[in-house]
Amino acid sequence: MYTKLFNTFSDAWSLWWQTGKITQDGFIFTIFIGVFAVLWFLLLLVKKPNKNPPLPPGPKGLPLVGNLLALDPELHTYFQNLAQTYGPIYTLKLGKKIGIVISSPALAKEVLKDQDTTFANRDVPVAGREATYGGLDIVWTPYGPEWRMLRKVCVREMLSNNSLESVYALRRRELRQAIKYLYGRAGSPVDIGEQMFLGVLNVITSMMWGGTVTGEERAGLGAEFKQVVGEMTELLGMPNLSDFYPGLERFDLQGVKKKMKGLAQRFDKIFETIIEQRLKINGEVAGSGEESKDFLQFLLQLKDEGDAKTPLTMTHVKALLMDMVVGGTDTTANTIEFALAEMMNKPEVLNKVRQELETVVGKDNMVEETDINKLPYLYTVMKEVLRLHPALPLLVPHCPSTTCTVARYMIPKGARVFVNVWAIHRDPSIWENPLEFCPERFSDSKWDYSGNDFKYFPFGSGRRICAGTAMAERMFMYSLASLVHSFNWSLPAGESLDLSEKFGIVLKKKIPLLAIPTPRLSNPSLYE
Ligand code: HEM
């Protein structure tokens, strides 16, 4: 058989040579194709086809460290600048970790809506774990039954509109307290962020366990608590080597873990004391029907009687208290501070808000929370400040639970995904004069922050959307309306307004706003 095949082949060979030049050209072509086919076949054998799509593009990094050395601490602006070069999705190599940065509405939608279940997880940083008893709170618990249980407990019992309605008296009391304090400081500069922080903290702690900070303690403790929460949110946003090289965690080279441990312990001591006192009182009044009706009481009851499949432990109780204190205070207080600063910088906006308040509330009355639904212009101020200074500029980073594809790029399981909502809110292709503070852009109420529009989503979107939106909205509107209605505001002599930001997981003013209140209501007794 081989002889027959050889003969056929050599016959064809001589025929080619004998049929002249054209045949010789054909021969060379055939040889070329043959060699090419063999090489291609060999290549296929050596290199298996790569079915995985590539990672998104990104800046070249150095061996071992990747792009870590180039990171700027002001991550939101740094990420925005890189997006100009690498586009709306890019990769950063952060030591052993892959970071993915998303900066367009279409891709934010793909991550937070189309593939929400996959991305509803967190890559828990060492600082987050240290602050929340090992990540046992709502913010850091992975998506699943435990997270659902924690979120349901908080939203239903504390943060829903119905629960909030039932404790309006607490908010009113705390806000009146704050206004009275400011009245006492008339003519002297006050730290607006600090006072608003204390106001929100008091509302939250009184909703949780009935405790507040008043009188003499107010100034001192306000500053202390604000500093502790501020440092915690700064550590949560800071790039930490222990997150990028898990093997280095035990060395804690930047001291992030140690610092966070110290800060968290300060709150833990308060929580322990309060829980201990409550358990003692509960023992004393058991069965008399005189038990407290606050959030802590509900949690302690749930701990004893809750679902056996997903139990609520004492550690969960403390982690939830930590979430409310850390997640609810700085976010809301910083937003109110930015709003007053932006309005003082644009007196025409401040005057418009004031006029609206004079019409709806009048100079002979203090603002009530029921008034806030009748203040549409103030509402646009809130939306605009949340556009320009979203409290969480990169949301809380998300993390896919499995390797997946976004925009034809591979996003590996466990990557840290930053959605740069700050950059989307300042994108000139979406917003006219994006850097200008202009509440009127929200006049047609086209935009809301329910998480359905990926051009504007200051509270996030999807399963992990902020759990405290209703509370933030009420506290912001009620506090800002009261500040503007009750006082005229001016800067200390020789000071100028600074509107720059400082990055942390929660954005804050680089320079705190110090402003002087001058009472403006008709009757001093209103401030009592
Ligand atoms: C102006 C005020 C606030 C803003 C702008 C804000 C914004 C956000 C954002 C962007 C997220 C992350 C969403 C994501 O990961 O995709 C978040 C999460 C969260 N927020 Fe807020 N927030 C505010 C106030 C509050 C308040 C007052 C509370 C509670 C008292 C609160 C509780 C939470 C919690 C528990 C989470 C974690 C949700 C989860 O992972 O399931 N926030 N918030």
Q: Which pLDDT does position 10 carry in this prediction?
A: 44
Closest ligand 1 atom, residue 140 Cα: 40
Residue 31 in domain: no
- Which residues does 38 contact at the CB level (< 8 Å), separation at least 6? none
Q: Which atom of ligand 1 has the smallest separation from the CA of 158?
A: 30
Ligand 1 centre distance from Cα of residue 396 (Å):
9
Output the known binding site for heme: 466
Out of 233, 449, 459, 464, mutate this one to test ligand 1's pocket (max ligand atoms within 8 Å of CB): namely 459
Tell me which residue range forms the domain holding 391.
121-527
Which residue has the least CA distance to atom 16 on ligand 1? 460
Tell me phi and psi for residue 105, to 5 degrees. -60, -40
Lowest mean pLDDT among 5-14, 111-120, 179-188, 493-502: 5-14
Pocket test for ligand 1, best of 323, 329, 330, 331 (most atoms within 8 A of CB): 331
- Digit-coded pLDDT (tens) for 322-332: 999 999 999 99
**Residue with the nearest Cα to atom 21 of ligand 1?**
466
Query: Which pLDDT does position 257 carry in this prediction?
Result: 97
In this structure, the dihedral spanned by the alpha carbons of residues 454, 456, 461 and 466, taken in order and rounded to 10 degrees, is 170
Residue 37 CA to ligand 1 center (angstroms) comes to 60
Q: How many domains does the chain fold into?
A: 1
| Tokens at 112, concatenated | 């937070």
| CATH code for the domain in which residue 323 is found | 1.10.630.10
Cβ < 6 A, ligand 1 pocket: 138-139, 151, 159, 204, 323-324, 327-328, 331-332, 335, 386, 391-392, 395-396, 458-460, 464-468, 471-472
Ligand 1 mean position, distance from CA 25 (Å):
74
Chain-centre distance of CA 216, in angstroms?
A: 34
Pairing state between β 97-102 and 416-419: parallel
With a cut of 80, say whether residue 465 has pLDDT above it.
Answer: yes
Q: What backbone phi and psi angles, to 5 degrees, belong to 517?
A: -85, 140
Note whether residue 395 is domain-resident.
yes
ipTM above 0.95, yes or no: yes
pLDDT at position 2 over 50:
no
Model confidence at 3, in pLDDT bands (50, 70, 90)?
very low
Confidence of residue 50 (pLDDT cuts 50, 70, 90): low
List strand residue ranges (DSSP E) for 370-509, in order: 404-406, 409-411, 416-419, 487-490, 501-502, 508-509
Residues 6+ apart with CB under 8 A from 473: 382
Q: Pick 468 or 285 by higher pLDDT.
A: 468
The string of pLDDT tens digits covering residues 349-388 is: 999 999 999 999 999 999 999 999 999 999 999 999 999 9
Domain-located, residue 130: yes
The answer to whether position 21 is within a domain reads no
Mean pLDDT, residues 325-346: 96
d(CA 299, CA 498): 43
Report the residue among 157, 466, 507 best suited for mutation to probe ligand 1: largest number of ligand atoms under 8 A from its CB: 466
Residue 335 binned pLDDT confidence (cut-offs 50, 70, 90): very high
Provide the residue type at 200 as one letter: V
* Integer angstrom CA distances of residue 519 from 191, 194, 484, 514, 525: 17, 19, 10, 16, 11
pLDDT for the residue 308:
78
The predicted model gives 168-173 an average pLDDT of 90
Residue percentage of the chain with pLDDT more than 90: 72
Q: Is residue 458 scored above 60 in pLDDT? A: yes
Confidence label for 211 from pLDDT (cuts 50, 70 and 90): low
**Which residues lie across from 405 on neighbouring strands?**
410
CA 164 – ligand 1 centroid, Å: 16
- Residue 397 CA to ligand 1 center (angstroms) comes to 12
Distance CA 447, CA 444 (A): 8
Q: Which residues are annotated as a binding site?
A: 466
What pLDDT score does 97 carry? Answer: 96
Average pLDDT of span 6-19: 43
**Residue type at 183 in one-letter notation:** Y
CA of 466 to the centre of ligand 1 (A): 3
2-16, 54-68, 499-513: least confident range: 2-16
pLDDT at 27: 53
Structural domain includes residue 48:
no
**504 alpha carbon to ligand 1 midpoint, in Å?**
14
| Domain annotation covers residue 468 | yes
Give pLDDT tens digits for 233-256.
Answer: 999 989 999 999 999 999 999 999
pTM assigned to the model: 0.89
SS3 string, 392-409, reads: CCCCCCEECCCCEEECCE
Strand 89-94 relative to strand 97-102: parallel, antiparallel, unpaired? antiparallel
Residue 499 lies in a domain: yes
pLDDT class of 290 with cuts at 50, 70, 90: confident
Nearest to 325 by CA among 470, 150, 132: 132
User: Is 405 among the domain residues?
Assistant: yes
| Nearest CA owner, ligand 1 atom 6 | 459
